[in-house]
Amino acid sequence: MKPSIVIMNFTHVYEQERFVKNQGFSWVDCTDLQGADCYLDADTQSELVRRIKPLSAHGIHFIDSGNYHYLSKLWTDKIEEPFSLIVFDHHPDMQPSLFEGLMSCGCWVKSVIDTHPWLRKVVIIGAADKLIQQVPEEYRERVQFYSENQLSHDESWRNFSMAHLQEPVYISVDKDVLNTQAAVTNWDQGSMSLSELEKILSVILRTENVIGVDVCGECSPSLEVFEEERESKVNGEANQELLSLYLSANKQ
């Protein structure tokens, strides 16, 4: 069965990227939604759940900018078996929500830990050390961190590559984990190169039972035409690389 490829279109940004051309993707139009940027209100959450209801967590999902990273929770809510969550992100996304009852792009990992009955473990790769230190102590036992500094050392890389999770995994990639040569996002970014990200992803795709993947980290459209074209080119190339890697690992 051919893996499903889903595009969640909030900002029209994918319409400028070449990797979506001439391919059989499933588009979910979200351009009409209010109450979705960074914070997700209850009505909009219900509508998003309705729109993705026919779609499976299996496959690869492109979910627009990091402002919509909370969509990873909606995709993992579909999983009904024990699983681990692997997150590539410059930010742990484990802050308490600033507004009670509203999920945000900065608290979605915490929300998955708090609410998902099938979640067994979370692995966060590439987060800034100073942000890891801000994660509440009570969550440390269920989260394993490989900070961007750790991954620069061979020993940490060997430890990661030899680790094996006992249950299937869902992977979420925020391209802000990458350096600014590899991606252009609207958040502060890490230092990982695209080849380094692909190297780690290759290990996971080869050794783990991967349920699905999502990718965010697009840069919201700007008024600067030439800059927007450059951003679209850089991000489109990164998305194509990640898509090709996923499809190659899922060849029948």
The reported pLDDT for the residue numbered 51 is 98
Q: The whole model's pTM is what?
A: 0.93
Q: What is the largest CA-CA distance in the chain?
A: 48
Name beta bridge partners: 27.
7
Q: Is pLDDT at 148 greater than 70 in this prediction?
A: yes
Q: Look at residue 142 in the predicted model and tell me its pLDDT.
A: 82
Q: Residue 8 carries which side chain, given as an amino acid letter?
A: M
Confidence at 222, pLDDT banded by 50, 70, 90: low
d(CA 191, CA 167): 29
Q: Which of 46, 79, 19, 97 is nearest to 212 (CA)?
A: 79
- Whether the per-residue pLDDT at 23 is higher than 80: the answer is no
Where is pLDDT greater, at 101 or 241? 241
| pLDDT value of position 152 | 62
Identify the DSSP state of 25. P
Distances (CA, A) of 78 to 44, 55, 58, 100, 232: 18, 9, 9, 24, 31
**Structural domain 5-249, CATH architecture:** 3-Layer(aba) Sandwich (3.40)
Q: Which of 189, 89, 73, 92 is nearest to 135 (CA)?
A: 92
Structure tokens at 146: 């490989």
Tell me the pLDDT tens digit for each residue of 166-218: 899 999 999 999 999 999 998 899 999 999 999 899 989 988 999 999 999 99
Q: Which one is predicted more confidently, 245 or 104?
A: 245
**Exposed e or buried b per residue across 81-117, where buried means at least 16 C-beta atoms within 10 angstroms of its C-beta:** eebbbbbbbbbbbbbebeeeebbbbbbbbbbbbeeee
Q: Which of 26-35, 65-74, 220-229 has the lowest mean pLDDT?
A: 220-229
In which band, very low, low, confident or very high, does the pLDDT at 106 lie, cut at 50, 70 and 90?
confident
pLDDT of residue 157: 55
Q: What tens digit of pLDDT does each residue of 116-142 get?
A: 999 999 999 999 999 999 898 888 878
Contact 114, 96 (CB under 8 A): no
Match 């050392």 to its residue by tokens.
153
